[in-house]
């Protein structure tokens, strides 16, 4: 049986000691060797005009992370701050990316703009639809996140219909909601939103151990937010399908080890990441 290793991490843009954090993220990518990676809060400077060109020098966070690691890249803008500065989601893929598309999520009236990145990756076992997202963060914006997950489920269904020729789609990201929140319960088939229901397997619920906190007060960068520890970063897969492809076989925390640099420990991000192995070839029982 072949497996597909996928990972997700909110890289916290360039906050904190970025130049010290970057090697830790890259080291973890080399250690884990995931075939597919979803990244959130990725900053890029891409000039809108020639006058903005100086901003591009050494300011593309995506290529800084992926440099020399052998990944293909896809990027979707969620927020445009002007003068070439963008914030968004990204996919790193060991396999060719044959299609990509970006969608803005509902909820921009809240003052936040959020996005969904779609990348179709051509693996040896078939075409894999990958979706990466990052939902509104404030505790009281659950109703906005609920609209966002309904929108996401609709886009997944359109781009990868159930019973179609693609492998089971993978949905990665920072959902800013704990498993008991309705927006997560909707995705895992436990409640309806807008009179709609869907089902995605939560890799951690299938194959993880313990609470799996990804925003954890044990991480000093997260502790500064004065929020409770909770699991808000997810690997979802719409599966297993009729061939039992897409079943989560293992799930672990990743990007969760600090390294002493000077007087203070450095962590890869304010979030911990998640890595999971998914069944990717047909199985019979």
Tell me the per-residue pLDDT of 97-154, one tens digit each, with 9 for 90 and over: 999 999 999 999 999 999 999 999 999 999 999 999 999 999 999 999 999 999 999 9
Of 5-9, 15-19, 107-111, 241-245, the poorest mean pLDDT is in 241-245
* DSSP characters over 94-150: SS-EEEEEEEEPS-GGGT---EEEEEEEEETTEEEEEEEEE----GGGHHHHHHHHH
Q: What angle do CA 133, 139, 141 make, to 5 degrees?
A: 65
The whole-number pLDDT of residue 33 equals 98
Q: What is the pLDDT of residue 230?
A: 98
pLDDT at 75: 97
**Mean pLDDT, residues 51-55:** 47
pLDDT higher than 80, residue 28 = yes
Highest mean predicted confidence (pLDDT) among 46-60, 120-134, 271-285: 120-134
The Cα–Cα gap between 193 and 139 comes to 19
- Using alpha carbons, select from 218, 209, 221, 132 the residue that is nearest to residue 174: 132
Name which of 238, 232, 239 is nearest 9 in CA terms: 232
Closest CA to 36 of 121, 115, 98: 121
Q: For residue 221, give Cα distances in angstroms to 20, 176, 216.
A: 14, 16, 9
Predicted confidence at residue 48, as pLDDT, reads: 62
- Percentage of the chain beyond pLDDT 90 is 86
Decide: helix, strand or coil at residue 28: helix
Domains and CATH numbers, the chain: 3-279 (3.60.10.10)
C-beta of residue 118 within 8 angstroms of C-beta of residue 90: no
Say how far apart CA 278 and CA 251 lie, in whole Å.
Answer: 9
Give the H or E element holding residue 233. Answer: strand 233-237
pLDDT in tens, 244-276: 899 999 999 999 999 987 678 999 999 999 999
Ranges of H-type helices in the chain: 18-32, 61-66, 142-159, 182-187, 203-207, 220-223
What pLDDT is attached to residue 239?
82
Higher model confidence: residue 243 or residue 65?
A: 65
For residue 95, pLDDT beyond 80: yes
Q: Which of 33-47, 48-62, 73-87, 256-270 has the lowest mean pLDDT?
A: 48-62
Average pLDDT over residues 194-205: 97
Q: What is the pLDDT of residues 186-199, one digit of tens each?
A: 999 999 999 999 99
Q: Label residues 249-265 b or e (16+ Cβ within 10 Å = b).
A: bebbbbbbeeeeeeeee
For residue 121, the Cα-to-chain-centroid distance in whole angstroms is 15
- Which pLDDT band holds residue 6 (cuts at 50, 70, 90)? very high
Give φ, ψ of 63 to 5 degrees.
-75, -25
Average pLDDT, the chain: 94
If you count them, how many residues does the chain have?
285
Listed in sequence order, the residues at least 6 apart from 88 whose beta carbon sits closer than 8 Å to its beta carbon are 42, 44, 75, 76, 77, 78, 79, 102, 115, 117
Residue 152's SS3 state is helix
Give the pLDDT confidence score for residue 234 in this predicted structure: 98
Residue 49 has pLDDT above 60, yes or no: no
DSSP state of 79: E
C-beta separation of 182 from 130 below 8 A: no
Mean pLDDT in residue range 19-42: 98
pLDDT at 57 over 50: no
* pLDDT of 82 over the 60 cut: yes
């Amino acid at each position: 049986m072949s497996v597909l290793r996928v990972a997700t991490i909110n890289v916290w843009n360039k906050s904190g000691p970025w130049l010290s954090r970057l090697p830790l993220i890259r080291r973890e990518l080399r250690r884990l060797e995931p075939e597919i990676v979803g990244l959130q809060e990725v900053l890029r400077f891409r000039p809108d005009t020639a006058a903005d060109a100086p901003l591009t020098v050494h300011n593309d966070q995506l290529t800084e992370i992926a440099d020399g690691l052998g990944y293909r890249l896809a990027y979707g803008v969620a927020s445009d701050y002007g003068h070439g500065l963008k914030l968004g989601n990204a996919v790193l893929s060991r396999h060719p990316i044959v299609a990509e598309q970006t969608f803005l999520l509902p909820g921009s009236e809240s003052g936040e703009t959020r996005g969904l990145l779609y990348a179709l990756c051509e693996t040896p076992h078939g075409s894999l639809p990958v979706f990466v997202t990052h939902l509104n963060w404030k505790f009281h914006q659950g109703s906005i996140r609920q609209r966002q997950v309904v929108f996401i489920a609709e886009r997944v269904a359109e781009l990868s219909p159930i019973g179609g020729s693609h492998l089971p789609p993978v949905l990665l990201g920072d959902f800013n909601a704990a498993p008991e929140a309705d927006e997560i319960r909707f995705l895992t088939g436990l409640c309806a939103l807008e009179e709609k229901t869907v089902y995605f397997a939560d890799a951690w619920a299938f194959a993880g151990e313990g609470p799996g906190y990804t925003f954890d007060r044990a991480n000093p960068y997260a502790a500064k937010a004065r929020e409770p520890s909770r699991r808000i970063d997810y690997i979802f897969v719409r599966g297993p399908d009729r061939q039992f492809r897409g079943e989560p076989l293992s799930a672990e925390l990743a990007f969760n080890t600090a390294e002493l640099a000077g007087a203070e420990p450095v962590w890869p991000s304010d979030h911990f990441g998640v890595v999971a192995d998914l069944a990717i070839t047909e199985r019979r029982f």
